[in-house]
Structures are given as structure tokens and as C-alpha cells.
Amino acid sequence: MESKTHSTQSSWSARPPPGSPAPPYVPLSPFSSPGSTSPVSPSAPFPLPLPLPTAWQSLSRYVRKRRAGLLPLLAGVLLVAVSFLFLTIVRTECKPVIQVVQQGGVRSDAKFSVRNWVLGAPKTRLTENLKPDVKYISTFVSSGWTNDVMTYGNMLYLALLTQRVPILGPFVPSHLQASAGYIPFGDVFDIPRMARDMNWPLLEWSDVKDADRGVQEEVGCWSAWMGTSRTITEPKSSWVTSVFGLDVSYTAVPYDRKMYPENDQEPHLLHGKLMELGFPTGRQKALSQSTPRATSQGNALEPSDQLLCFDQMYAVSVDTPWEWFTDSSPVWRFVGKHMRWNPNAEALAQAYLAQHWGLAKGEPIPPYISVHIRRGDFGDKCKYLGKNGTGCLPTTNQLKRRVGEVQTQLLEKGISTDKVLITSDEKDPAWWEEIQQAGYTWIDHVAAQTDTRYGEWYSPLLDAIFHSSGAGFVGTDSSTMSMLAARRVAEWNDGPSAFLQWINVPEEEL
């Protein structure tokens, strides 16, 4: 039996091999196949529910790219011709469709429009497109997808604290094969809705700098990664800087920005202390404590004051270690809960669920319990808990108990369901047989050819959307993916959750 879901996420401390070339920038979209800009084949088992006419796709690519340099006359003739063709197609061949595609540079609220926060279309240099009266903030991720979601959340919260405009990079394939390429933040999350709900402008790096035509340029940033421990002597590398042509001179964040400066084993930095770096007094104090490292060109640059940028912001909290796991998490309350899915990705997930549950067209998705069982790398930790093999991991019996707990809580809300959808990184066919015998189901991304049809990013992305769409949720203790899923189900669906326990659990409780 083949693996049912995506591979295990790498540790938050993972990084690209030193000197390794960045994979190509591949902005994937549910409307195109991997490595192609053509629409997904209509023969796909899960065709997108919102197909667009080819003429409109051509026009939307023009809007998204916002390429300058077309001759005015040619542009005018082309736009008139395309518009006429589009109207003809709509009138003669297409039924009205709901247009939910969010084009680059477009925001539903005028005050959040990209054009208000940069000088113009994406430039070849970052410095050519930053408005002199605006201050910005960014971070460069590479710690596994869920951890990178949390990293961007931490940065966005710091953006609110410092009143800076955030620049969001893409997600990088640190937990996938390099061939997966990158997926833009806006293809995963609904940026216009986020901006509206947070009441704050949001940019993507592709709004600021052209990844295809951009030139290499030097910039000074802070290394939060080096500030987490005295044993760390190098900044955290990320492919994001490579793809956007940034040669970074890093300055280590001083250790007194940590929650526990005397403890090298506890990595958390404080939001309040990082906030100080965005203001003159705190910035000058930190610069007096750290020396900038040279770029690849041999130039040591102080961190930019206009663009407050960091290499790694995963282990950052207001005042409690691993604060995302607490119900009072400020980052979740002010940022995380607003990170709603891109409408196209969510529509694709709904199409998968409809087919999985055998629904007729237009029939609503029934209530179900979503489950995330992380086993792969957690099984490797059993030896540290005095167990052989994967002997410390939760059994199917515990899974049944946790599902029962959620079912009981749902019944108290008037919701009855025996539908259970499993996702896991487990590759053992015998384990999946146990899941089947328990009466639970799963969506097999291998059989569905998800990676082939939509790209390698869409297996983990769809799984996360499946999790958040459940009426209730069962996760794995200490998993960040499970933690975020439980928060989404609670916040968005008012649903209960339970967690599979595996750390120092008596054998009879496993």
C-alpha cells in the first residue's frame, strides 16, 4: 500500500545545504498544472469548480504581472480585442461563474491596494520600489511549512507592534523535494481578506521586486536565529533571499532580546525586545552590541532601518515559551485566526471532499471529524522515551477513544456523525489496514494524482484545509500542524478537539 499523504515536515532547525542553489521560482496555482501556465485538464478527476475562459486568463496574467514596456497603441488594441473576445465568449458559451481569483496587486479595499504602499510595478531592485515615507518589515522562512506559517504570523504580529508594512515571501520546499518550487503566500492564504480583517496593508515580495528580472543587491538584516543561542554562529539560510536576489549582511540579535538570556537551550526571543529594533534607541543599543557580517561581496552593512528584516522568527513569543499552543496566544488572536485559506484552494478541497463522501452536485459537505496523526519523525523519538521501534506512538485503540470524545462533545451541540477522515505520514500498510478496520476513511493523494495534477504543495495544503473543515478534530500532541488545525476548527467552526498522547504515557493508555 502506498503512502496516503504528504511527507513528514522537517524540523524547524532544518536549513538548505550550504551553498545549494535555490530551486526555480514556480508560483503554482490551482488554475495551472506544475511547470505549465495552461489550465488544468478538464479530464482531471477533481476539475476546479471555477473554470475561467482562456481569454480572461490571458488578461488576468497581464494584470498580475503588471509588466511595463508595452507600446501604448499595441496595448490598447490588444485590450480591446481581448475584452471583445471575452464578452463574446461569456455571452455565447459560458454560464456566469463566481470570480474569486485574487490577482496580484488587487485588494478588495482601496486603502490596502498595493499601489498605495510601493512606488510602482515590481522593480529590478528592492530599493527602487520602497516608498521613502513608509517603513517595512519582512522575514525569510525555511523551517517546514507549518512552522513557516507560524513564522509569518510572528512577523505579522511584529508588523502591528511596529506599525510597519509587512512584505510576505513565498513558502519554500524545506519539507518537500526542491522540485516542488515555491508557492506564493497569496496562493495559500486569502491576502485581501487578511488585510481587511487585520485592518492592515499586506504586501508580497512579488509586489515589490521582480523575481525573473531582478538583479542581485545587498541589504542589511538582523539574524534572530543567531540570537537564540551562543552556540549558533551562522545566520539561518533561506532560499527566499536567493530567488529575489538579496545578498544579506546579517547582524546577530543580541542575547538580551531572549526570554531567558542565560539559557542557551531555550530559544525564544521576545516580541517586545524585537520591537525595539524598529526604533532609534533600541536599534542603536543593539548595534553597539553586535557587529554586521559581510555579504558575499565582502561588504558589512548595518541592518536597514527602512526594511526591518530577519532571517528566522519561529521561536518568538510575547512572554511564554511556545505561546502558539496557549489559548491566550496574542499572535493567534490578532493574526493567526485571520489567516483564511485562498478561495481557490478551499474550493479545490471542497471538490475533493464532495467526491470522497459521494455527494451530488450542490449537496453540502456533511459534518465529519478530521484527524491528523503524525508518526514518521515522532516514531524516531521513541528510543529517547525508553521504547523500541515506534512503541511510544498512540495505538488505534487510543484513536478510537479520542474520536469518541469528540463525537460526545459534538452530540452535546446537536451534531451526530460517524464520518472520520484520517491524514497521516505513516507509510506502513499494516497500520492503514487497522485504520480501515476501524471504519475510518482517508483521501489517497497518490491515487488522486494530486501532486501530478496540481503540484507537490497541494497534498499538504489540501490536508490542512480538510483538517480545518471538520466539525471536530483529533490531533497529535506536540505537533504544530495539529495545534493549528485544532485552533482553526475551534475558531472557525466552533468545534471541539482532542489530542493523541504519546510522550511519557503509560503503555495501557497508549
pLDDT in tens, 60-78: 333 333 334 444 444 454 5
- For position 360, which CATH number holds? 3.40.50.11350
Q: Classify residue 132 as exposed, middle or buried by CB count within 10 Å of its CB (0-12, 13-18, 19+).
A: exposed
Are 478 and 501 in a shared domain?
yes
In the listed set 289, 305, 338, which residue is the last one of a domain according to the structure?
338
pLDDT higher than threshold 50 for residue 430: yes
Are 323 and 356 in a shared domain?
no
Are 234 and 268 in a shared domain?
yes
Is 179 within a domain?
yes
Are 294 and 389 in a shared domain?
no
In the listed set 338, 358, 387, which residue is the last one of a domain according to the structure?
338
Instruction: Cell 534572530: give the residue.
Output: 224
How much is the pLDDT for 108? 56
pLDDT higher than threshold 60 for residue 324: yes
Per-residue pLDDT, averaged over 160-187, amounts to: 96
Phi and psi of 500, rounded to 5°?
-75, 125
Is 458 within a domain?
yes
pLDDT higher than threshold 90 for residue 486: yes
Per-residue pLDDT, averaged over 105-122, amounts to: 83
Domain count, the chain: 3
Four-CA torsion 264, 265, 270, 275, nearest 10 degrees: 50
Are 383 and 321 in a shared domain?
no
- Domain of 80? 54-92
Is 10 within a domain?
no
Are 318 and 354 in a shared domain?
no
Per-residue pLDDT, averaged over 363-367, amounts to: 97
Number of helices (H), then strands (E), belonging to the chain: the values are: 18, 13
Are 431 and 484 in a shared domain?
yes
pLDDT higher than threshold 80 for residue 103: no
How much is the pLDDT for 331? 98
Measure the CA–CA gap between 355 and 420, rounded to whole angstroms.
15
Local confidence band at 84 (pLDDT 50, 70, 90 cut-offs): very low
Are 139 and 268 in a shared domain?
yes
Q: Classify residue 199 as exposed, middle or buried by CB count within 10 Å of its CB (0-12, 13-18, 19+).
A: exposed
Are 289 and 199 in a shared domain?
yes
Are 326 and 360 in a shared domain?
no
How much is the pLDDT for 78? 52
Is 248 within a domain?
yes
In the listed set 291, 308, 338, which residue is the last one of a domain according to the structure?
338
Are 179 and 77 in a shared domain?
no
At a CB cut-off of 8 Å and minimum separation 6, what does 154 contact? 139, 271, 313, 314, 316, 331
What are the pLDDT digits (tens) for 267-311?
A: 999 999 999 999 999 999 999 999 999 999 999 999 999 999 999
Are 174 and 211 in a shared domain?
yes
Instruction: Cell 503509560: give the residue.
Output: 506
pLDDT higher than threshold 80 for residue 117: yes
